[in-house]
Amino acid sequence: MNEFPVNSSLRGPAALDPDSRIAVERAVAELRRACLVFLCDAEAAKGPGYLLLSAENADHEALAALHQHGQDQGTCLLLTAPRAQALGLDSEANTPLALDCTGLSLEEIVQLANPAGDSKALALHNRDSLAARIRPFPQLSAEAALELTKLARLLPAAVMQPISQRPDGILSVSPSQIQHYRSTAALMLKQVASAEVPLLGAENTRIVAFRPADGGREHLAIIVGSPRNDHPVLTRLHSECFTGDLLRSLRCDCGDQLRGAIEAMTAEGAGILLYLAQEGRGIGLVNKLRAYRLQDQGADTLEANEALGFDADERIYEPAAEMLKHLGYTRIRLLTNNPEKVADLARHGITVEDRVTHSFPSNGHNEAYLDTKARRFGHMFEI
């Protein structure tokens, strides 16, 4: 099997310059380490702004540092609109909400951010007392802060402290840099390795690895046979699922979809399965386990994701489109029951000439999950 050339002419320009991209990546790393980040306008990196701390990673030491720099005035807990609504608070669609943190303990802050945590029930958690804490907050800065926590694969909640200038030794990043990061990273995928990997039932298979700009987890193209690029190739976009793909969990249908796609491609003689590093509809494995806990308490998949503060589906498919372009394919037949994949690929320059049915029977454990996918996400199941 021949190497697949990179079709660089199909790639658009990066939205961020290298320094801005690196600033976001370093800020993400700092948040994951429970460190502070300074959020301010890029043109005024020494001027006023906000100290930002991930609510999930907040501890007594980090909160003390935050208050030391800001004199403990105006500290707010930022929540996404879905999380605010799950707490019974009025919030406009897609508009973050800020709660005054004055008098709140660390445990209370963490509990407000994480409904799947182990904290004891708090008397604070009633609608009227929380509503009295709502404070105005600049929307652009709030959206950027919460997006940064998502990029860090943490719960989308942040503790914010206004300060007059950036303290020495704390990384600075701007809302505009954060806003344009995802599209930039998608355009900067780099092919880093490829090898022939015979699979059970699909011995003529090659795997090509693409690394994102932040050096994070790679996306994989699993190429069965030798697909021609002069007519539509059978393709599957498969978001990784550790529990379903590897452990064969019965809570979902992901393992069936993965193995079924490879079987279909083998039967046809060729195909491309893009294995995308966006576990749990893009919220990550840890947050997926938190969502499972909420589902065990009665929430469905969509409700659990929103209770954690995420959108119903956080996945993006621009990286998949870029991978196909790298490999020299722009026309496909897509194995999917999700119409959003068809629409999103089209927005990014991939022509989906046919949606190929890709559904599997329930297994006695995933009926509610499949029902939610059909009823609330619009998936089209044809068994």
Q: How high is the pLDDT of residue 158? A: 97
Count of residues in the chain: 383
Residue after which a domain boundary falls, among 179, 197, 223 = 179
Task: Let me know if 315 is a catalytic residue.
Answer: yes
Q: Do residues 199 and 169 both lie within one domain?
A: no
- Owner of token pair 């119409």: 339
Query: Is residue 303, in this structure, part of any structural domain at all?
Result: no
Contacts 24+ apart (CB under 8 A), 191-194: 191/6, 191/326, 192/218, 194/3, 194/4
Q: Do residues 366 and 236 both lie within one domain?
A: yes
- Strand order of the sheet with strand 76-79? 134-135, 97-100, 76-79, 157-163, 49-54, 37-39, 172-173
Q: Which of 245, 256, 311, 313 is catalytic?
A: 313
End-to-end CA distance of the chain: 34
Q: How high is the pLDDT of residue 1? A: 37
Q: How high is the pLDDT of residue 116? A: 77
Amino acid at site 157? A
Q: Do residues 273 and 358 both lie within one domain?
A: yes
Q: How high is the pLDDT of residue 9? A: 33
Q: Tokens for 280?
A: 């749990």
Residue after which a domain boundary falls, among 153, 179, 205 = 179
Q: How high is the pLDDT of residue 16? A: 75
Q: How high is the pLDDT of residue 31? A: 94
CATH of the domain at 59: 3.90.870.10
Least Cα distance to 24 among 214, 282, 278, 217 occurs for 214
Domain that holds residue 87: 18-179
- Quote the number of domains for the chain: 2
Q: Which of 281, 311, 315, 344 is catalytic?
A: 315
Query: Is residue 286, in this structure, part of any structural domain at all?
Result: no
Residues in Cβ contact with 317 at an 8 Å cutoff, skipping those fewer than 6 apart = 237, 276, 341, 344, 345, 348
Q: Do residues 126 and 59 both lie within one domain?
A: yes
Residue after which a domain boundary falls, among 155, 179, 203 = 179
Reading phi first (left if > 0) and then psi (alpha if -120 to 50, else beta), residue 378 is in left
CATH of the domain at 266: 3.40.50.10990
**Which residues of the chain fall short of a pLDDT of 50?**
1-14, 119-123, 383
Q: Do residues 164 and 220 both lie within one domain?
A: no
Q: Do residues 86 and 202 both lie within one domain?
A: no
